[in-house]
Structure 1
Amino acid sequence: MAKSKEAHAEYMREWNRRPGNMAKACECTRKWQVKNPEKVAQYKRNYVANNPEKVLASQRAYVKRNSEKISAYERERHRQHPEYAAYRVQKYRAARASRLPPWA
C-alpha cells in the first residue's frame, strides 16, 4: 500500500534529521581513494578544470612559480621581433653614424 504524501514527507524529515556516521562515510571515501589513485587524480583534474576559481588560482600559482622563466621567454620573444630588431638597427645607426661605412 502506498504511503500518503504527508506520511512520506514526515518520513523524509525524520530521515534528514538522523545522526550521520561521518567517520564511517569518510573511511569509505578514503578506501575508495586508496584503491583508485588514478581515478582520484582524474577527479581532481576535472574538478579544477570545471571550477573557474580553481582555474584562476592554478594559473596564478603557475605564474608565481615560473615568473623568471616566463619573463625571460617574453624578453627573448621581444628581442627577436622584427619590428624591434629594425628599431634597434635604426637606433644604432643614429647613435654611431660616424662609425658606419659609407655604403651602409
Structure 2
Amino acid sequence: MEQTTDCDDNHIDYIPYLWNSLNVEELEFIEKTVFITPNPANHKVFVNSVEGENSYKIFDPRGRSLKKGKLNTDKSINIEELSKGVYFLKIRGKQPIKFIKERI
C-alpha cells in the first residue's frame, strides 16, 4: 500500500513516517506522556497511556495539590468537586498534563 503525505477528512497519512524518524529521547518522552479524554470535561476524565495501578495528583495553576488518589480499574478520575477552570494532572512517573474543567 502506497503511503502519501496528503491530509484530508482529518487524516494525517504521514504519521508512520514520524514514528520512523523519532530518536530515543523523543520515544521516551512519548512513553511518559499522559493523554486524557474528554478535555474539557465535566464529571470524569479518562487516562490513556498508563499501565498498571498508578497514583495521581491534581494541581491548580498555582501549584496547590487539590486531589490525589489511585487510578481505578476503568482509568477514570471523578472531577465533579472541582470548580470550573484549568488544572494539571500528574501521574506518577509521567509528564503532567493540563486539562479544563467545565461548568456543570
TM-score tier after normalising by the smaller chain length: under 0.3
- Select the structure that is richer in strand: 2
Task: Give me the TM-score of the superposition, normalised by structure 1.
Answer: 0.25
Q: Which has the higher contact order (CA 8 A, sep 6+)?
A: 2
Larger Rg: 1
